[in-house]
Amino acid sequence: MFRQSKVEYKNNQQIRSMRKAGLVLSAALDEAVAAAAVGVSTRELDGVFAGVLKASGATSNFLGYHGFPASICVSVNHEVVHGIPGDYVLRDGDILSIDGGAIVDGWHSDSARSVIVGQARAEDQRLSDATESAMWHGIAALANARNVGDVGNAIDDYVSGLDGAPLGILQDYVGHGIGTAMHQPPDVLNYRSGHRGPKVKPGLCLAIEPMLVLGSLETTLLDDDWTVVTTDGKRSCQWEHTVAVHDGGIWVLSAEDGGAAKLAPLGVTPVAL
């Protein structure tokens, strides 16, 4: 029962193909985040994102996935993940996570960013900053990890070591392998557990995506069978990047600079192929 499903390891050329998908995705998220403003609907954000993919010759790996009706997930305030873009109009102080993916030449990328519309509440800004930093600590840990579980250990250690009010790490939703499909083995936990996971070796590609909450870890699935919300109504946040391990080091495929700026303070230098 503890056996891992087979992990898909990529060669350098395949990783380069995933990098193409990651760059298109990064550009599409840039545009969607820039468009997030008071008075804009979440459906409009989906249109902006989809337009960039179309202009780049890429396709969405979200649209139609098990029937999902849009190119991005837009999760607002107490929505944790898988929010469906629609008629909701953004308001001042909303915190939203935009999660999207792109396929180029059959290779997938997956990334998420959070943005606060208008005037941010201090606790929401702290939540977003902490979630993003937790992701980068997990990515940095991958550079020298022996097992995939080391990523979750690093994320948990960072979050539990923060000063101030404690933040919760959701355990029901985790990162994953990625490559010829959006979701592949192995699971990438965002917390400490007794499970080490598979060994980290060249060719491993992961989507690392911590989700933090201001309150309880309990979540509820809405009637649309997609949107997950915090049961207590407290706010949530998600950040995610696709990262490759190769013979020369790690490379953040969905970051335009490969992760250089954010990894430098953590003592890690990404290596491009």
3-state helix, strand, coil in the chain (%, to 5): 30, 25, 45
Q: Could you tell me which CATH number the domain at 12-266 has?
A: 3.90.230.10
- Residue 168, H or E segment: strand 168-169
Burial of 122 (C-beta count, 10 Å sphere; 0-12/13-18/19+)? exposed
Please report, for the chain, the start and end positions of each structural domain, with discontinuous segments joined by +: 12-266
So what's the pLDDT on residue 2?
42
So what's the pLDDT on residue 4?
56
Query: Which pLDDT tens digit goes with each residue over 130-178?
Result: 999 999 999 999 999 999 999 999 999 999 999 999 999 999 999 999 9
Whether the ω angle into residue 185 lies within 30 degrees of 0, i.e. cis, is: no
- The structure tokens listed for 182 are 């959006």
CA proximity to 77, closest of 90, 60, 86: 90
Q: Which residues are annotated as a binding site?
A: 82, 99, 110, 176, 183, 209, 240
- The structure tokens listed for 103 are 């396929």
Query: Which pLDDT tens digit goes with each residue over 74-98?
Result: 999 999 999 999 999 999 999 999 9
Q: Which residues are annotated as a binding site for substrate?
A: 82, 183
- Cα dist from 224 to 55, 82, 206, whole Å: 30, 10, 28
Q: Which residues are annotated as a binding site for a divalent metal cation?
A: 99, 110, 176, 209, 240
Q: pTM of this prediction?
A: 0.96
The residues of the chain scoring below 50 in pLDDT are 1-3
